Amino acid sequence: MTADSMDKKRGIYIHMPFCVQKCRYCAFLSFSAEGSPRKEYMDALEKEIKLRSALERERGTDKPADTIYIGGGTPSVMDIAAMSEMIKTLKRSFEIKPDAEFTLEANPATLGRKDGVMLAKLQAYKFMGVNRLSMGVQSMDNDRLHYLGRIHTAENVARDMEIIRRKGFSNVNLDLMFSVPGESTEDAMRDLERILALAPEHISCYSLQIEEGTPFGEMAESGELTEVPDEEDRETYHRICRRLRDAGYEHYEISNFAKKGDDPAATSPYRSRHNSLYWNMDEYIGLGLGASGFINGVRYKNTSDLEEYLAVLEEGRLPVAEEHRNTAFDNISEAVFTGLRRREGIRYEDAVRAYMDAVDAERPEILPGDDFRDVFWDIFAEAREEALGYAGRGLLIISDEGLKLTEQGIDISNSIMSLFV
């Protein structure tokens, strides 16, 4: 393990690829749970956990995890006993820090119908160590939820939140989607007010992306669906940002907002620690179908083919489909790309340290005393002029310490970030 990777934080992501039904816009790796091999999946996942932890120990790259994130799909449709066994295996296989953030995605209307059932399920999650819930609410308008193909109603969300609070969960994220076809900025703002009334500690806001191969993608192709124009989408986004800031949320990443703590000048204690690992170029182990990992400078991705995933683990092998050792340029490019997503931006020092962290014979040596800013702009000499152009138009802030997008710059973040790829 390199010296710098010793300092990096470590997360564990576990993918649960099953949902009650597919939403009409969904391009995530998920299948309808009906008739799916859920038991076989959990057995295979336990095998993968053991194989992966043995490999990390053998390579000397094992270290205590700061975060666990169970995402999907819809993890809350999984059998609670199987989930609990899997978590026991995880904790026996990997060292988890006592104060680790442990997030579980739990879609509304999948926690149970009766209060008693929900409370028991939430108790089981608490027992596993879950201390943060992330709910895919998307909208608080029942017609829009129906149109999106979601299985829940706004009433389900309000009731779930009431029971979640009763069970003592004090760190809850709600996802909100905007720019759904037919939705105006005013509609989105009404949705946001209903989300705010539930007082979540964290809100993720995304505009709907119409993806090829989804029912919405087909509807867009046939002209049955008209996407919200860009200008309106951007107006909605900026109004959401302003409203959330006024409501006491810290806008810490393009799409993410965390409630401020007691000290409004300090960083919010409710920032997602797990997602911050991705934006900070920290390390994470990915487990489950299609999951990705980044350990000791190597990125890997598991197969996305469910049959192959089950078969390979049955043979006692890891289901890795792709592996790539990052070059020094990969590292710095990714550090800038992901770092610019954060409202504080990227510091030259952190970007250059990511560059130096790579085991790459091609990388020119950086000497002690070299100025991080100079090294950064030597590496990105070709991008400099265009970056200055963006700065001149008030879209990018270039300081002595580093770079960050302005709020207007977020609207063209992909173009700005692509300068550094």
Binding site for ligand SF4 (CB under 6 A): 19, 22-23, 26, 28, 30, 72-74, 107, 136
CB of 316: closest distance to ligand SF4 in angstroms? Answer: 29
Would you call 16 helix, strand, or coil by DSSP?
Answer: strand
CB of 174: closest distance to ligand SF4 in angstroms? Answer: 14
CB of 107: closest distance to ligand SF4 in angstroms? Answer: 5
In the complex with ligand SF4, the residue whose CB is nearer, 136 or 290, is: 136
CB of 110: closest distance to ligand SF4 in angstroms? Answer: 9
Beta bridge partners of 16: 72
Contacts of 356 (CB under 8 A, 6+ apart): 4, 328, 363, 366
CB of 108: closest distance to ligand SF4 in angstroms? Answer: 10
Beta strand residue intervals within 332-420, DSSP E: 346-347, 396-398, 402-405
In the complex with ligand SF4, the residue whose CB is nearer, 106 or 285, is: 106
CB of 66: closest distance to ligand SF4 in angstroms? Answer: 25
CB of 121: closest distance to ligand SF4 in angstroms? Answer: 17
In the complex with ligand SF4, the residue whose CB is nearer, 19 or 410, is: 19
In the complex with ligand SF4, the residue whose CB is nearer, 53 or 110, is: 110
Tokens 């400078």 belong to which residue?
297
In the complex with ligand SF4, the residue whose CB is nearer, 125 or 380, is: 125
Task: With residue 330 as reference, give the H or E element that holds it.
Answer: helix 328-339
Would you call 322 helix, strand, or coil by DSSP?
Answer: strand
How many angstroms separate the CA atoms of 33 and 29, rounded? 12
CB of 209: closest distance to ligand SF4 in angstroms? Answer: 11
DSSP-derived pairing of the beta strands 96-105 and 320-325: unpaired
Yes or no: say if 104 and 70 are a contact pair by the CB < 8 Å rule: yes
Angle at CA of residue 269, ends 161 and 273, nearest 5°:
85
The string of DSSP codes covering 229-270 is PHHHHHHHHHHHHHHHHHTTEEEEETTEEEE--SSTTSPPTT
Helix-then-strand count for the chain, H and E: 16, 17
For residue 397, which of 347, 338, 328 has the smallest C-alpha distance?
347
CB of 151: closest distance to ligand SF4 in angstroms? Answer: 8
In the complex with ligand SF4, the residue whose CB is nearer, 41 or 390, is: 41
Which residue type sits at 222? Answer: S
CB of 370: closest distance to ligand SF4 in angstroms? Answer: 46
| Tokens found for residue 327 | 């070059």
In the complex with ligand SF4, the residue whose CB is nearer, 31 or 329, is: 31
Would you call 216 helix, strand, or coil by DSSP?
Answer: helix
> How many Cα atoms occupy the beta-carbon half-sphere of 298 within 13 Å?
14
In the complex with ligand SF4, the residue whose CB is nearer, 136 or 319, is: 136
Would you call 107 helix, strand, or coil by DSSP?
Answer: coil
For residue 341, which of 265, 248, 295, 404 has the smallest C-alpha distance?
404
DSSP-derived pairing of the beta strands 396-398 and 320-325: unpaired
Yes or no: say if 125 and 177 are a contact pair by the CB < 8 Å rule: no
In the complex with ligand SF4, the residue whose CB is nearer, 38 or 363, is: 38
In the complex with ligand SF4, the residue whose CB is nearer, 93 or 139, is: 139
